[in-house]
Amino acid sequence: MSGPVLSIHDLKVHFDIRVGGIFAGRYQPLKAVDGVSFDLKPGETLGIVGESGCGKSTLGRAVLQLIPPTDGKVIWLGEDLAGLDSEALRAKRQEMQIIFQDPLASLNPRMTVGEIIGEPLRTFEPNIGKAAMKTRVKDMMAKVGLLPQMINRYPHEFSGGQCQRIGIARAMVLGPKLIICDEPVSALDVSIQAQIINLLMKLQQEFGLSMLFISHDLSVVRHISHRIMVLYLGRVMEIADRASIYAAPRHPYTQALISAVPIPDPDKERDKHRLVLQGDLPSPMAPPSGCVFRTRCPKATELCAEERPPLEEDGTGDSHMVACHHWRE
């Protein structure tokens, strides 16, 4: 397939929040995702980064239609998911899977590992025999680095890294084309994080997966992603390939995020110039006018308060896009 497997067009997810009391209150929209657009190519990993509360996880769930979008389109393999009925959408779900942040909380403690990994097979392939299902479960356990003889154990008997491997096996057992990784290593030790990241990259190469990798850790995103998209208050600030965004970040927010990434060399880390953001993240219920980042931006002017900057190419010809009025300065 030469075109994108996933196309997102002006996606919005707004939640109506009651404010002002139960009886005299009113509903006000919380704009978790506010007009996000991007394409995902076959076999590509798009890293999605930003502070907590910027809409990363909401975006991932909206792509899977676990949260109904308020507006916009989610085009999967040329078909708009919003136009599908529940049965057709259910059939699409086996092509798109998700790996959750908390490895242990995402597993049913009353089910064995074999039952957990085999659950998608029972759902989407109800006629599969017990022997065939057991064989496929054991094969997938081996692919993710789990011993097949552990098939009858329960989640509490495994470490955090092993539980995440179980979650990956469950997501992979149907052979999906898209995996959404919702901060899959943030709850793990650093050494285990590297193992899980390398496992995901190995599976991607073996199965030709496309991935959306959600994280707030830019060092992890840099290792696994082909392109990176930076979100702030539900809007795209910048999107570019990995090399471009780390070598020459255009948006002040991206520059601040990258400057916060620690450098292993103590001398370089000590001498590094840091860009420290002032103030707190504004409420998505009352975002700033114009550019949503302007209240914390050192380059903000009156223009930033009056006009929302469009997401436009920077002119280098490498599809580096940025939403800032003053990125050329």
- 252 close to 88: Cβ distance less than 8 angstroms: no
- 182 close to 98: Cβ distance less than 8 angstroms: yes
> Is the model's pLDDT at 19 over the cut of 90?
no
Confidence of residue 269 (pLDDT cuts 50, 70, 90): low
Is residue 161 one of the residues assigned to a domain? no
Spatial strand order of the sheet with 71-76 comes to 26-40, 6-19, 71-76, 79-80
What's the pLDDT score for residue 289? Answer: 93
For the stretch 290-311, what's the b/e string if a residue is b when 16 or more beta carbons lie within 10 angstroms of its beta carbon?
Answer: bbbbbbbbeebeeebeeeebeb
| Average pLDDT of the segment spanning 164-177 | 95
> Is the model's pLDDT at 76 over the cut of 80?
yes
What's the pLDDT score for residue 239? Answer: 96
101-125 pLDDT, tens digit each: 888 888 999 999 999 999 999 999 9
Is residue 36 one of the residues assigned to a domain? yes
With a CB cutoff of 8 Å and minimum separation 6, the contacts of 321 are 236, 238, 239, 240, 311, 312, 313, 314
Segments forming the whole domain that contains residue 74? 6-95+176-322
| Average pLDDT of the segment spanning 120-141 | 93
One-letter amino acid for residue 158 of the chain:
F
| Cα 33 to Cα 221: distance, rounded to the nearest angstrom | 21
Instruction: Tell me whether residue 253 is exposed, middle or buried, using C-beta atoms within 10 angstroms of its C-beta: 0 to 12, 13 to 18, 19 or more.
Output: buried
Is residue 163 one of the residues assigned to a domain? no
> Is the model's pLDDT at 34 over the cut of 90?
yes
How distant, in Å, are the alpha carbons of 14, 18, 42, 238, 320 from that of 241? 29, 40, 15, 10, 7
Task: State both tokens at 168.
Answer: 């990956």
Is residue 62 one of the residues assigned to a domain? yes
Q: Where are the extended beta strands (E) located within the chain?
A: 6-19, 26-40, 45-49, 71-76, 79-80, 96-99, 178-182, 210-214, 227-232, 235-241, 312-313, 321-322
Confidence of residue 169 (pLDDT cuts 50, 70, 90): very high
What's the pLDDT score for residue 1? Answer: 58
Between 260 and 270, residue with greater pLDDT: 260
201-247 pLDDT, tens digit each: 999 999 999 999 999 888 889 889 999 999 999 999 999 999 999 88
What's the pLDDT score for residue 55? Answer: 92
One-letter amino acid for residue 187 of the chain:
A
Indicate the average pLDDT of the chain: 90
With a CB cutoff of 8 Å and minimum separation 6, the contacts of 188 are 103, 160, 161, 164, 196
Is residue 81 one of the residues assigned to a domain? yes
Confidence of residue 190 (pLDDT cuts 50, 70, 90): confident
Q: What is the CATH number of the domain that holds 245?
A: 3.40.50.300
Task: State both tokens at 50.
Answer: 């930003």
| Cα 82 to Cα 80: distance, rounded to the nearest angstrom | 5
| DSSP code, position 317 | S
Rg (CA), the chain: 21
Is residue 133 one of the residues assigned to a domain? no
pTM over 0.85: yes
Between 135 and 316, residue with greater pLDDT: 135
Could you tell me how many residues make up the chain? Answer: 329
Is residue 285 one of the residues assigned to a domain? yes
Query: In the block, which residue shows the tokens 């965004």?
Result: 245
| Average pLDDT of the segment spanning 260-267 | 72
| Average pLDDT of the segment spanning 16-27 | 75
Is residue 142 one of the residues assigned to a domain? no
CA angle 9, 325, 62 (to 5 degrees): 25
Bridge partners for 11 per DSSP: 36
- 11 close to 59: Cβ distance less than 8 angstroms: yes
Confidence of residue 265 (pLDDT cuts 50, 70, 90): low
Confidence of residue 93 (pLDDT cuts 50, 70, 90): confident
> Is the model's pLDDT at 48 over the cut of 90?
yes
Chain centre distance of CA 246 = 19
What's the pLDDT score for residue 220? Answer: 87
> Is the model's pLDDT at 290 over the cut of 70?
yes
Tell me how many domains the chain contains: 1
| Cα 186 to Cα 102: distance, rounded to the nearest angstrom | 8
With a CB cutoff of 8 Å and minimum separation 6, the contacts of 33 are 11, 12, 13, 55, 58, 59, 62, 69, 234
Task: State both tokens at 277.
Answer: 């953001």
**Phi–psi pair at 163, nearest 5 degrees:** -65, -35
